[in-house]
Amino acid sequence: MSTSRASGGDEITAITVVGLGYVGVVVAASLAAAGRRVIGVDRRADVVASLDAGRAPIPEPDLQARIDRARALGTLRATTSLAEAVAASGASLVCVGTPLGDDGKLDESDLIAACEAVASAVPASREHVIVIRSTVSPGTYGRVAARLDAARVSLALNPEFLREGSAVRDLEQPELVVYATEHEAAARFVEALYREQRERLHRTDPATAELLKLVNNAWHALKVGFANEVARVAAPAGVDPFAVMALLCKDTKLNASAAYLRPGLPFGGACLTKDVASLSAHAARHGVEAPLIGAILSSNRAHLDHLVEAVLAHEPRQTAIIGVGFKPGAADVRDSAPVKLVRELLDRGVHVTVADSAVLDARVPPLGLEALRQALGDPRAQAAPSVAHAVRGADVVVVGHPSRADRDALVALRPRVPILDAGGELTRTLSETERALLSPVVLINH
């Protein structure tokens, strides 16, 4: 983090950090050690006294060193008076806790109260930026913004991604910094605050920023739970789970990477379903509880059901499905989600025509239309010799895993019916001009 400026361009006299819990004290100390004047605010007098005396209120590597440097620079102080701090600052970073309530939801009452208190304390002649760093649920930005005077207070979200034990390092050397705001004054402040990390700074919309933090931690929790299930299923086979996971993580092209982490169609193919089922059966055979692994196929089925309902919502009499391979660029239809989608729609009385140039262009028998018919495996489905034949008479077009030829044919044909992009593959490849030429293209994996 670096020196920042207020919304009007004037140098901010200080930054208030509201809430001196784990996140707040690390943020306050790091900013102050970097030379920024910081006023920490907390209702707990003992925490304020500790920080004012130069003692870290929590044991965290590097935190005491940052506090020591801030004291040497004279850039850090703490108070229980929010009004005093806000009057002396141009921006407030709100880091108050949002614990889990009895209803299973985040209790954001302290956060909302803190934001309102900050806004009320802003002097009449001043503008102020409020940046929410607390973990919040989707919709919080809007709820808070509705309570603030937008003419004087600019609101932003800046979720934290800090780990206990390395919080200072995570803050000062981030892999990712995300913020969201609907106010340009707040955007200027955040951009200036993270000037030294600008290459890792990403602006998004408030709902995405809110959900990202929750998804981020759910992903970490899932990884921990998965590794522990691996340990349990490895034991009956006499296998060292640490060796399994260490080797798993050696593959950074597929296993420890962004591969498979983009939303799309349900998985399929010759391996994934079979091997997940085999691992789950191994666990069951040995009396090992492995609910995560056991739920993978159920989750995959739930996503297929979601896609089916999204298509049926258009009440189609005839549907064209384009691209039925099990993954992008594949003519292999084994355990293919688009083929399953075909059968589900047929079972619900929808007439379905199918085109897939990759299957039609098969180089080994069966060939052409016969290859597509065998791939579908259901005489009720009509195999079409081209995309043009498939979409003729259809009142909905569903795009599965299209080949380049299928995609280009759709763009050239411009069917005047809804185009439902089941996996997002069409949407990602369309230019603005092409998107304008086609009927509304709707992502249905949302």
CA-to-CA distance for 85 and 83, rounded, in angstroms? Answer: 5
The residues annotated with a catalytic role in the active site are: 271
Helix (H) or strand (E) holding 156: strand 153-157
Residue 401 structure tokens: 């895993």
Contact 404, 361 (CB under 8 A): no
At 173, give phi and psi (nearest 5°).
-130, 65
Helix (H) or strand (E) holding 312: helix 291-312
Nearest-CA neighbor of 133 among 15, 37, 17? 17
Cis peptide before 138 (omega within 30 of 0): no
What is the distance of C-alpha 394 from the center of its chain?
Answer: 35
Residues listed for the chain:
446
Residue 24 structure tokens: 């707040």
Q: Which residue has the tokens 């004054």?
A: 185
CA-to-CA distance for 107 and 120, rounded, in angstroms? Answer: 22
CA-to-CA distance for 290 and 287, rounded, in angstroms? Answer: 9
Q: Residues 128, 129, 134, CA angle at the centre, nearest 5°?
A: 135
Contact 134, 189 (CB under 8 A): no
Residue 38 structure tokens: 């910081």
Q: Helix, strand, coil: what percent of the chain each, to 5?
A: 45, 15, 40
Nearest-CA neighbor of 324 among 422, 220, 250? 422
CA-to-CA distance for 268 and 343, rounded, in angstroms? Answer: 15
